[in-house]
Amino acid sequence: MVAPRSSAFLAWGSAQLFFVLGVLTAVAFAILSDEVVAQLSLDESALGLLGGVFFVSYALSQLALGVLIGRVPAKWVLGPAAILSALGMLAFAASNGLASALIARGLMGIGLGATFVGVIYLVGQRFGDKFALMSAVSQSVANVFASGLAIASAVHMTPSFRPPFEWLGVLLLANAALIFLFVNDRPAATAKGRVPLGAALKTALCNSQFWWATVFYCGTFGTLLAFADLWNIQFQMNFFAHTVQQSAVMNAMIPLGVTVGGLVAGAWAGRSGLPLPARAFALLILACFVVLLVAPLSLSVTGALMFVIGCGFGSSTLGLAVLHDHLPAPAVPLATSLVVTAACIFGGGVQPLVGAAVSAPHRAQELIALIHSANPDFGTYQRGLFWLLASAGAAVIASFFFRRAPR
């Protein structure tokens, strides 16, 4: 029996709130990262480690929960995950050093790993006839809230990172109650011809387009995670003397650009096929990072460039579309989980690499000072940005191996 439409929206809305709170958590950590460093007595390398632990635990959890959610009632995946996320938030708010903060970030990552797979699963279950529209709405709503939080922080910035994470913990507990109340989906029915996980895995791994899609999605979405969810704000404050409010507003331009770029890239791909828009948007990301690497920019120009680079990142979903074009339908869900998980691990791995590059001692201080006499620290910033440039370059290479969908 098909669920009533009002019930469908309540179930989707409960999962969507979980997804939004997960995105807000990542944005809040980026905005408040300076306060986290100061109040926990950390350095840039430790901050990168906090970011990396979150995304690696998030990625591994997402893969496990993505497989589980179709085999047990959805509320028994999403509800406990929301509670675990809340405990991680409250533990992070109460942390007093690196060790306790790492444990809390790990708990947050494990719980929030259910957010994306959860909302996409319920969209498929409840709005199968309008899957494309509702999945786009889910992504757009999250991006709008992320931008709103970043812009609001420019008006009022809390002096401590602890209260926002306490509030997020309380909201997640309330969200868990909504999930248990409204998400009553049964496990997806087992079809007679359903492909076992082992066979689906073999089908994906033996397809070259799966691997190029993985590299592309890591180079776009993974780089987005490393840049927008942590290092962009740190770069703006530490190397260009922008206030946290100015940096947050500039960072808010990225998710706004992702929303616009995703819609444009999707429409273009629908008319011309995937390869051309994937190459164009990947090259756009690379060009933006080259501009950021070459010379310091004014506040207004940097803000505009953040929007443009966000548009480029919006093409990341084309990597997932490649899977739909080149893999048999039964293998697509597992392949999608693998690709998204790989991107999260990649983003989590790049974050500490950037942190290590930024905090590394200057081995050629005289040369750096000679080249960048107006701002010697710009060379340090360039070392960190190089990792992001290389990641974007990998996406460009992968895009040139994409093939048109077979007819």
The pLDDT tens digits for 235-292 are: 676 666 566 667 777 777 888 888 888 778 877 887 788 899 999 999 999 998 888 8
Confidence of residue 232 (pLDDT cuts 50, 70, 90): low
Task: Output the pLDDT for position 191.
Answer: 44
In a domain, 388, yes or no: yes
Asked if pLDDT for residue 373 goes beyond 50, the answer is no
Task: Output the pLDDT for position 321.
Answer: 78
Q: Which residues contact 285 (CB under 8 A, 6 or more apart)?
A: 220, 223, 309, 312, 313, 392, 395, 396
123 compared with 98, residue with greater pLDDT: 98
Of the given ranges (3-12, 126-135, 154-163), which has the lowest mean pLDDT? 126-135
Q: Which residues contact 267 (CB under 8 A, 6 or more apart)?
A: none
In a domain, 189, yes or no: no
Q: Are residues 305 and 166 in the same domain?
A: no
Q: Are residues 156 and 238 in the same domain?
A: no
* Count of structural domains within the chain: 2
Asked if pLDDT for residue 1 goes beyond 50, the answer is no
Task: Output the pLDDT for position 400.
Answer: 96
- Amino acid (1-letter code) at residue 366: E
- Residue span of the structural domain in which 297 resides: 196-407
Q: Which residues contact 106 (CB under 8 A, 6 or more apart)?
A: 53, 54, 57, 88
Confidence of residue 124 (pLDDT cuts 50, 70, 90): low
How many whole angstroms separate alpha carbon 281 and alpha carbon 116? 23
Burial of 272 (0-12, 13-18, 19+ CB in 10 A): exposed
How many whole angstroms separate alpha carbon 328 and alpha carbon 325? 8
Domain holding 82: CATH number?
A: 1.20.1250.20
Task: Output the pLDDT for position 131.
Answer: 55
Residue where a domain stops, chosen among 162, 184, 206 = 184
In a domain, 74, yes or no: yes
Element (H, E) at 407: none
DSSP class per residue in 257-326: HHHHHHHHHHHHHHHH-SHHHHHHHHHHHHHHHHHHHHS---HHHHHHHHHHHHHHHGGGHHHHHHHHHH
Residue 285 phi/psi, 5-degree rounding, is: -60, -50
In a domain, 38, yes or no: yes
Please count the other Cβ atoms lying within 10 Å of the Cβ belonging to residue 44. 22
Residue the block writes with tokens 């509320």:
75
Q: In the Cβ-directed half-sphere of 163, how many Cα atoms lie within 13 Å?
A: 4
Task: Output the pLDDT for position 345.
Answer: 82
Q: Are residues 48 and 161 in the same domain?
A: yes
Task: Output the pLDDT for position 87.
Answer: 97
Residue where a domain stops, chosen among 184, 207, 235 = 184
Please state the rounded mean pLDDT for residues 120-130: 70
